[in-house]
Structure 1
């Protein structure tokens, strides 16, 4: 009996001592610390950012409410003079009674607007409010009214806002997200992320000279807490391994139309086996070319190269300059014989070999793996081969420039950040399946077709070529994916080739890589009842910069900036509307291949794109600085010429280029697939629709099909050659 009493006394004494330490460390009352202590131990809570919560009032704590445990945590750690505005279930729950005694609470329905003078007066007296926002990354219209209400109160009281996000809370047994979408863990590790206090006015100012509405400024700040809660990224290998442990090693995460399926464990086991062979190719940090199609096995090879400490240069037919092989920058290229045969890459392989590169075939690597290595791979599937750091180069992607292809070096931190930014803006869950059609050697294809699904537990259904216009709708009809990322050209082709029921399972369609035409948007709305969310990005940004979403969507724009990013506009002489977009953020690449000069000088990267931004933060793409023409003393955006042509002939594809004339000015040429294209007809409609006279193309060329790149985008380089040949000119602008 005495021994039991002593044990109990020892436990209570330890509890009290730990609570006293927490009280001193966190600046909370002993009563709060006594209730917080068991939670802190059980969930191994990282609360290092909570100093932001101790800011003097008036202050509003904007809490992303993900589980029933969140109010208990917040009542334990926030100053005890905070008024907590709880949802009705939390206000009535019997088990929360000990925590509700820690501070004053009131019940409230999140869908109701509650701007009133009492709350404003309480804040003005250096008061504190804790408001629990709906847990959705994209709240519905009714729930978003809460952001407007809180922003109005914050402005009226000149109160600071501290957003709080509890990483891991959505995996608790009491989480609000359905278990079918988010895996449950009995005692997940939690991290409380509290961002530094800012007033709404400061948030609006930080958005840039264009500004943003107060409610969107608050919404974006809450989204940033979600994004930054991931902490400092490690490597792609670590990020995917963490996802495997969270979502389950036995979860099927990658599959393809050939029938291959890989669970997380199988993915890592295969990469472990092959990485043992790949470490013998070159040394750590070497750039190794990867020439493989969209397939489940390709994902394993990519992960194997990451495990082996290699920088992966994503290559395709004609993508990945041979000069890099010739000068020794790329000494090895990994591919497969089946892919070389099916994609007819014999000439590419011969050119690589002739340039001095060594071609490594996956079939040979697999054949060299011994039975013992296979067994070891399955047992040691979580182990990497060679260490790498977050800021080390992970991938090289090639983008087309007027001077040829340019390599963009992206770090592990860049790619992981962009995947987390996308997740903080779009609603993704483990019940989703992404139909991955974009080639892996494109920035969007790599991020949304491989890195994002592997990191976030979203199944990836890989298809080898985006140009199979009739087969892809059939795949969608039978395999029923829920998410599709594609370009305008691809979406237009799929929409025309598909049956009306083929895309029934899709809940999220995102367009990127080029401007989404009105005709494509209307086609999907009329035939399938689906809304396409347009986005914007570039290779140097890993690549997504902005995107429309369900709550924040505006047709004709490319959406709003992703969390963690900032922008500014530089005026362009002769161009009155908008400006040249400059951006900063953790997803911006560090450098180009072959140079040590940083891409983002003084922390800002010049995109070369011309955009306008409205008062709610929506970006409208107006064209590229490199795609401007000087005509009749005006600066003309060729992208806007294309939009004008689309208004005249909405069912066909148009591309505008500028060719240097004999007088030294620009001659605008419109190339179109409209068979009846006639400049006289275009001129009459042009004037009637009110387009700028100086932007009227000098020449209209009709073609049977528009030259495109591997992912379906207009190939302007080939287009210029075609126009020069047809007109007998030279030097396209």
Structure 2
């Protein structure tokens, strides 16, 4: 029976997991690259054990920080925190200590669950916020495991297996209403201060139903989970989606570690992978067709999928890359470029597909708000049950992000008569030069076409004469800037859009976030250093 056949509207996420675990008791649920393997029955037992400990260690606390990688322990900690009646907040350890401190302060986090081994590996010390306040207490998974006695283990095992589901749900965590908070995900802060996106149980469940409508899963399916849980696609797509649909998931915390990702896919016969074009590029260099032999779906997002990459991946692995689109504020899946039930056209090259079930999209004039526009570029607006509750502690910012119940994505897009969405740029990724709006993405595409691979990033710095000045970086080090400029000047790019010769810079790597997205703030800082 598919996920969409269950009425999950009155359920909390962890209660839905309880039901799935009972139904799939002996099936593999979670594995990771350290060798951990848990059936659904063992996973449920572990969740109940952890939930009791979390509840005992966090009296009178609403939100609990989680500083853990994509792993069996990280997945269990997320489910157990909800089962303990607390709201899990996965901290973005790739964004730096200052950004983590902002999340801790805004959420009022007094306890952070982490791992000694992981903390040593990432080398982060947590700062008290605001200065002078006590630092959050660190609770280590290793200590929780060591402190659990035989009697507690036996009690949890009996509860997990024998306690009626109604009693189990009453004992562990409150039943979710429409507005019950399930998590707070902090945006990457790639364009400014990070925002705390509040997602309810209903938001995430609604998004999972839309995703499951396109990708019905079975017990034979296995996700390869490489995205971090502080990323919305990692949390919804590689934790809650597999755990509520009864398939397995195998985690590895480093998505760029292609060798291990390939080995994991081969070992667990992975059938589904969510990644970014950057990660996929790495897999093409290190993974073999035999390792990916069981993959049915590879969904890519976070950055534009270029046709040459899609063609090369299909030629190497025999798999068509599926481009998707989403945003944290929508929990996060908005559209997927693959077949939808009842639709005559399966996909459209160059688009991100049609909205998933339960999500609606329209394009309006960026300046007047008139619309909906069909076949014309404008500002993309979306809405649905997966739309966030708002930004934590920022009512004005929340109001600015909405228009008559629609979320303003900040993306420039077009929607054709069949509902296919094509993203063309972001509002924030334009420069005003000589009074004209210049799109960064179109310049990046031109440079990538010239160089034959996706290796360019464009930003701008202030310019006294023309308002802004385009700065472009690329990672193909064997091509001198003069050659790049010469070839660019022969393309159809307007002369106003062309970066100057001395504003083209080859670099070893482009700044990226832990999610694989381009770090726009880091890119601007890099441009300021190079531009002088």
Question: TM-score, normalization: structure 2?
Answer: 0.88
Question: Partners of 1:479 and 1:714 in 2: how far apart?
Answer: 31
The answer to whether residue 514 in structure 2 is matched with residue 710 in structure 1 is: yes
- Contact conserved, 2:8 with 2:16, CA < 8 A, in 1? no
- Contact conserved, 1:325 with 1:355, CA < 8 A, in 2? no
- Selected match of 2:122 from 337, 340, 344: 344
Structure 1 match to 2:173? 386
- Selected match of 2:347 from 550, 553, 567: 553
Report deviation, 1:692. 3.3
**Partner SS state of residue 403, structure 1:** coil
The answer to whether residue 390 in structure 2 is matched with residue 591 in structure 1 is: yes
Structure 2 match to 1:98? none
- Contact conserved, 1:558 with 1:621, CA < 8 A, in 2? yes
The answer to whether residue 186 in structure 2 is matched with residue 398 in structure 1 is: yes
- Selected match of 2:364 from 559, 567, 570: 570
Structure 2 match to 1:302? 78
- Contact conserved, 1:480 with 1:505, CA < 8 A, in 2? yes
Where do 1:191-210 residues align within 5 Å?
A: none
Deviations 1:250-273 (A, max 9, x none): 221111122211122211111111
- Contact conserved, 1:284 with 1:309, CA < 8 A, in 2? no
Question: Partners of 1:488 and 1:408 in 2: how far apart?
Answer: 25
| Alignment CA distance shift 1:347-1:231 (3 Å) | closer
**Partner SS state of residue 669, structure 1:** strand
- Contact conserved, 2:281 with 2:309, CA < 8 A, in 1? yes
**Partner SS state of residue 404, structure 1:** coil
| Alignment CA distance shift 1:573-1:679 (3 Å) | farther
Report deviation, 1:524. 0.2
Deviations 1:287-314 (A, max 9, x none): 1100111112222211110101111111
Report deviation, 1:659. 1.5
- Selected match of 1:579 from 378, 382, 385: 378
- Selected match of 2:253 from 448, 464, 487: 464
Q: Which has the larger radius of gyration?
A: 1
Aligned Cα RMSD in Å? 2.6
Question: Partners of 1:684 and 1:560 in 2: how far apart?
Answer: 39
| Alignment CA distance shift 1:472-1:693 (3 Å) | same
Report deviation, 1:635. 1.7
Report deviation, 1:610. 0.9
**Which blocks of at least 5 consecutive residues in structure 1 are unaligned?**
1-170, 172-181, 183-225, 729-733
Question: Partners of 1:658 and 1:350 in 2: how far apart?
Answer: 35
Question: Partners of 1:323 and 1:502 in 2: how far apart?
Answer: 41
- Selected match of 1:696 from 477, 494, 498: 498
**Partner SS state of residue 605, structure 1:** strand
**Partner SS state of residue 431, structure 1:** coil
Report deviation, 1:683. 4.5
- Contact conserved, 1:317 with 1:345, CA < 8 A, in 2? no
Question: Partners of 2:180 and 2:421 in 1: how far apart?
Answer: 32
Structure 1 match to 2:268? 479
| Alignment CA distance shift 1:283-1:570 (3 Å) | farther
Deviations 1:615-674 (A, max 9, x none): 211111111111111234432221122112111112251111121112351211111112
| Alignment CA distance shift 1:243-1:284 (3 Å) | farther
Report deviation, 1:529. 2.0
Question: Partners of 2:511 and 2:122 in 1: how far apart?
Answer: 19
**Partner SS state of residue 568, structure 1:** strand
Structure 1 match to 2:148? 369
Structure 2 match to 1:638? 440
Where do 1:123-138 residues align within 5 Å?
A: none
Deviations 1:550-587 (A, max 9, x none): 56222211111111111222213599951111111011
- Selected match of 2:44 from 259, 264, 268: 268
Structure 2 match to 1:504? 293
Question: Partners of 2:302 and 2:66 in 1: how far apart?
Answer: 22
Question: Partners of 2:100 and 2:77 in 1: how far apart?
Answer: 21
- Selected match of 1:720 from 505, 524, 527: 524
Deviations 1:425-482 (A, max 9, x none): 2243221111001111111111111000001112101112112133222332333211
Does 1 or 2 have the higher relative contact order (CA < 8 Å, sep 6+)? 2
Report deviation, 1:328. 6.8
- Contact conserved, 2:65 with 2:104, CA < 8 A, in 1? no
**Partner SS state of residue 270, structure 1:** helix
Question: Partners of 1:327 and 1:428 in 2: how far apart?
Answer: 37
Question: Partners of 2:4 and 2:267 in 1: how far apart?
Answer: 35
Deviations 1:342-373 (A, max 9, x none): x2334347999985211111122222222221
- Contact conserved, 2:188 with 2:513, CA < 8 A, in 1? no
- Contact conserved, 2:300 with 2:324, CA < 8 A, in 1? yes
Deviations 1:155-206 (A, max 9, x none): xxxxxxxxxxxxxxxx4xxxxxxxxxx7xxxxxxxxxxxxxxxxxxxxxxxx
Deviations 1:578-608 (A, max 9, x none): 1111111011111111235566453111111
The answer to whether residue 197 in structure 2 is matched with residue 408 in structure 1 is: yes
**Which blocks of at least 5 consecutive residues in structure 2 are unaligned?**
340-344, 370-374
The answer to whether residue 235 in structure 2 is matched with residue 446 in structure 1 is: yes
**Partner SS state of residue 349, structure 2:** coil
